[in-house]
Amino acid sequence: MDNIKNTDPEIHSLIQQEELRQATKIRLIASENYVSRAVLEATGSVLTNKYSEGYAGKRYYEGQQIIDQIEQLAIDRAKDLFGAEHVNVQCYSGSPANIAAYLAFLKPGDTILGLALPHGGHLTHGSPVSISGKYFNAQSYELDPGTGRLNYDTIRQRAREVKPKILIAGHSAYPRILDFKKFRDIADETGALLMVDMAHFAGLVAGQVHPSPIPYADIVTTTTHKSLRGPRGAMILCKKQHGAAIDKAVFPGVQGGPHDNTTAAVAIALKEASSDSFKDYTAQVVKNSAVLAEKLAANGFSLITGGTDNHLMLVDLTNKNISGKQAAKALDRAGIVLNYNAVPFDKRKPFDPSGIRLGTLAVTSRGFKEPEMIKIGEFITRIVSAPTNDEMIAKTAQEVTALCGSFPAPGLEHLV
């Protein structure tokens, strides 16, 4: 990064510090991952110089001969990978993608029904602090208080009551596989469109270790980072009949010209996700998640739903007599990075909740397997048991650094 160093030493130094942090810490944030060097290079390529309002073959600016081919490659690869009839790859991120999906089919005040934010839903599924909760009549369903899982009979009853125009299936902190057929049946019964937000598990779908929502949903939104290991972007996949409405909602509905450097990086990530090695990767993600969940449960941690089917788990720390925020801060000092998170029926405030959320995407990308998951479980148990023991935290941080040194992070191998 000599050019950055010569132009802006301060930014150069900060980037180097972040590189070192990502290389030497155990990253368990469920929405983070490592991208390949190829994806990194595409995001920093000359494609960032372009402006390309419109769609392939229908641009408002000239000079799009190369850009059209790049965008079409990304579209074709997404169609092939997921079996989708229509794909829009221009969305800047997951939240704008969800808003575009609403714009395509709803008017202000129309009803949407999604999983409540404190129960694992996303801000854009109707939270009152989000535009989705301010512009629409946002209704929610919750997890069953007895099982901590989705109760499809209850969701059906809720849909009958509120009659949503869009029924949303998807989550940001639910550790179980969704039953897309049941959601489809509920949508059909109540006259709703079914929208699935697979931002968290899209890579698991691509790797064929998680059921696909494509055969059941009218609209599917997803980010391109997280489990897909691509750049920070998003896609909307839908039935062919909805393609024109989706495209119009994305541009000019909620955004201007696409980020062509991101589109190229998405295309690369989709090519990588079609490989056999990516299937192996996603299978290991699920194995690692299950082993870590089992280890934490054996050490007395209370896991929401009792375990996990995907890459993430949500842990209620109430029985450990520590808040999620306090635990997350202590773990971060020990080199273990995750986020504090509300749990269903949480009695604490969102900024200092009872739980933590963790996932296995990033650690699996750097080659961690079952033995390392057991070790991570031991680290977490140790820190949560004594969050103010500075000596023990410092010792754990050294062990974390040593462990990470044996598993170079993708794209950061030069730091080993």
d(CA 105, CA 234): 19
> Which of 221, 223, 263, 282 is an active site residue?
223
Pick the closest to residue 407 from 367, 376, 379, 377 (CA basis): 367
> Which of 19, 32, 53, 144 is an active site residue?
53
> Which of 232, 271, 279, 333 is an active site residue?
232
Helix/strand/coil percent split, the chain, to 5: 50, 15, 35
- Cβ-count burial 372-400 (b if 16+ within 10 Å, e if not): bbebbbebbbbbbeebeeeebbeebbeeb
Q: What angle do CA 229, 231, 235 make, to 5 degrees?
A: 90
d(CA 125, CA 92): 18
Annotated catalytic, 226? yes
Asked whether 24 and 397 are in contact (CB, 8 A), the reply is no
Asked whether 319 and 375 are in contact (CB, 8 A), the reply is no
Quote the tokens at residue 52.
């390309």
Annotated catalytic, 7? no
Annotated catalytic, 32? no
Quote the tokens at residue 65.
């001969």
> Which of 50, 59, 184, 226 is an active site residue?
226
Kindly report the length of the chain.
416
228 is in an annotated binding site: no
Residue pointed to by tokens 């820190």:
383
314 is in an annotated binding site: no
> Which of 19, 32, 41, 51 is an active site residue?
51
**Interhelix angle 180-190/152-162, nearest 10 degrees:** 20
Up-side HSE of residue 221: CA atoms within 13 Å toward CB? 30
Pick the closest to residue 81 from 206, 170, 216, 258 (CA basis): 206
Q: What's the alpha-carbon Rg for the chain, to the nearest Å?
A: 21
Write the burial class of residue 29 (CB in 10 Å: 0-12 exposed, 13-18 middle, 19+ buried): middle
191 is in an annotated binding site: no
Query: Residue 124 gets which letter from DSSP?
Result: G
Annotated binding site: 117, 121-123
Give me the active site residues, please: 51, 53, 197, 223, 226, 232
Annotated binding site for (6S)-5,6,7,8-tetrahydrofolate: 117, 121-123
